Amino acid sequence: MPDPAQEAQATLAVRYVQVDGEHEGQRLDNFLLTALKGAPRSLVYRVLRTGQVRVNQGRAKAGYRVRNGDRIRIPPLRLSAERAPASPPPAQLQQLEAAILYEDARLLVVNKPAGLAVHGGSGVSHGVIEGLRALRPRDQGLELVHRLDRDTSGCLLLAKRRSTLRWLHQLIREGALEKRYLALLAGRWERTRVEVDAPLRKNTLQGGERVVRVDAAGKASRTGFRRLRRLAATTLVEARLYTGRTHQIRVHAAHLGTPVLGDEKYGDRAVNAAFRARGLRRLFLHASTLTFPLPDGQGTFQIAAPLDPLLETFLQQLSSTP
């Protein structure tokens, strides 16, 4: 016979929730995950995708930023009534605790390890946000300020309060939150600086894979590259994001004909294979620094994330290559 605990379910009737000022500016998907404690991300995204969630009687996408006074319709859902979601594994929690670069009453910055998603979903049980919420259960308002690709390491900023999240999102909209990355590119650059101003458009392939391409019909996207060093058949660059599009640095680097090494989606397979044989087994893209002004003229916040020791070792190896 089936286990009654596994079969137990709870039915939620249609609910209408009004957004208050504390939640203003939160992404709709995150708002729903908070309202539907224990609901799988896959379920939340399915009801969003199929239009069952309505904001002020109209459809809204997952990335919609809710506003004070918005009336949100949450459809009837059947949620498992068994146990609470499993906690991330202890090894992952220890890794995240060790990766925290800075923390105060409002902010938390972590040096995200490569290979760890920022949140669960799409076959990933736990990500950075789930792990940090498990480590900081008293910080009920802990939210991601921005995102990093799963294979990208480096500075990831989180807010502990809704008011802080709104303030930081305002800085992002104004272009006042500066993000710089280190990337190792295939090929040798002669130029010291390159500005790429090429619109990007998201596409979904037949198999469901999401790719981003330079497309005149896409969204305005701008990246500034500065050459730091030329090593063997590569160039180490610093990349500054002026816009925050999906896969922006990776696509713009490939657009220049010098893709990021280790990039399985936009890079050169043969080149990646050659450098993998030399020890590079991940994407060489690292969010190195975050800089933004503090409120009320209190100065500037700046933080740097040290490069993965494996990447440092790889650079040293290239430096010794004739």
Q: Which of the 8 DSSP states describes residue 115?
A: T
Residue identified by tokens 């890794």 is 95
Query: What tokens were used for 6?
Result: 């596994």
Please tell me the number of Cα atoms within 13 Å of 275 on its side-chain side: 29
Residue 139 known to be catalytic: no
**Three-state SS at 129:** helix
Query: What tokens were used for 237?
Result: 């660059």
The dihedral sign for the CA sequence 179, 128, 252, 173 = negative
b/e sequence 93-111, b meaning 16+ C-beta within 10 Å: beebeebebeeeeebbbbb
- Residue 12 dihedral angles phi and psi, to the nearest 5°: -100, 130
Q: Which of the 8 DSSP states describes residue 86?
A: P
State the Cα–Cα distance between residues 30 and 133, nearest whole angstrom. Answer: 14
- Active-site entry in 29, 149, 151, 263: 149
State the Cα–Cα distance between residues 211 and 201, nearest whole angstrom. Answer: 9
Secondary structure (DSSP) of 179-221 = EEEEEEEES--S-SEEEEE--EEEEE-TTS-EEEEE-TTSB--
- Which residues are part of the catalytic machinery? 149
